Amino acid sequence: MPLPQEGKVVLIGAGPGDAELLTLKAVRALAHADVALVDDLVDDAVLAWLKPGARVVRVGKRGGCVSTPQRFIEAQMIALARDGFCVARVKGGDPFVFGRGGEERDALLRAGVDVEVVPGVTAGTGVPAALGIPVTHRDDASGVTFITGHRRDGALHDWPALVRSGTTLVVYMGVAALDAIVRALLDAGMDASMPVAVIQDGTLPRMRATVATLATVQASVRAAGLGSPALVVVGDVVRHAQLPALAATARRVA
């Protein structure tokens, strides 16, 4: 049967790792896709929901590694949709939370391509929850602030304002910049005893983590051998963390 004149692109949030955290809408969208453009942090188990014969194109991006250029990804989506294919753009977490989903949607709309967004469980809530950490709690935090460990424009966060806010801080892509983040928070007046969790491969069977304080977290991360992809959580809510459920490599440092 000939392909329709125009296809579409679905920006799918695959969640923080565990394929069972996919939404029903994401599963249905994957099952209809002809081609899937898949980010590096999407677990292979997610792709089991693609229909037989669907083509998988890896377009991963990871800090410190050679990455697929963003313009190439956008050009591929546009070209495939114009050829009549249903394209699944599969992203870890939620496509609109540090996932460049907004950029890609804008590019598709400018090209006149039909685009749909399927939200996913963002790492900022799903990963802490896997450790028993609520990002808000009536006794500990009345809000949560999501930030990225590095900014595209190279500008610095307003660390004093973040400290004054009293919210839980969840830092995406923060491990590489952990030393600078710790120094900035201490300089901004945060107490050195503030609890901090660093969680690698959150929600997956290989998840590893450390719970420490602002003063000890750098040494704790080095001792545990943690690296990217990892999430950094700063705030009193970290006291709720339950590490015994983790692998034996997880550590708690007071």
Res 227: pLDDT: 93
- Report the predicted TM-score, pTM, of the whole model to 2 decimal places: 0.89
Q: 176: which residues sit within 8 A by CB, 6+ positions away?
A: 63, 64, 149, 150, 228
Q: What is the DSSP letter of 93?
A: B
Q: Where do the domains of the chain lie? A: 8-118, 123-252
Q: How many beta carbons lie within 10 A of that of residue 52, not counting itself? A: 4
| CA distances (Å), origin 206, targets 18, 155, 199, 235 | 11, 34, 11, 24
82 by DSSP, 3-state: which?
helix
Q: 22: which residues sit within 8 A by CB, 6+ positions away?
A: 14, 15, 30, 46, 49, 120
As a whole number of angstroms, the distance between CA 95 and CA 41 comes to 12
As a whole number of angstroms, the distance between CA 195 and CA 206 comes to 23
| CA distances (Å), origin 28, targets 50, 94, 105, 207, 230 | 9, 16, 20, 27, 29
Res 154: pLDDT: 59
Res 150: pLDDT: 74
DSSP string, 169-215: EEEET-STTHHHHHHHHHHTT--TT-EEEEEESTTSTT-EEEEEETT
pLDDT by residue (tens digit) across 16-26?
Answer: 999 999 999 99
Average confidence (pLDDT) per 10 residues, the chain, 254 residues:
73 97 98 97 95 94 67 96 97 95 97 97 97 96 93 78 97 93 97 98 94 97 94 97 60 42
Containing 3, the helix (H) or strand (E) segment is: none
Tell me whether residue 72 is exposed, middle or buried, using C-beta atoms within 10 angstroms of its C-beta: 0 to 12, 13 to 18, 19 or more: exposed
| Superfamily the domain 8-118 falls into | Tetrapyrrole methylase, N-terminal domain (3.40.1010.10)
| Catalytic residue numbers, as ranges | 39, 61, 173
Res 61: pLDDT: 61
For domain 123-252, which CATH number applies: 1.10.8.350, 3.10.450.710, 3.30.950.10, 3.30.360.10? 3.30.950.10
Degrees, nearest 5: CA angle 173-194-164: 80
Cα 201 from chain centre: 10
Cα 60 from chain centre: 13
As a whole number of angstroms, the distance between CA 194 and CA 237 comes to 10
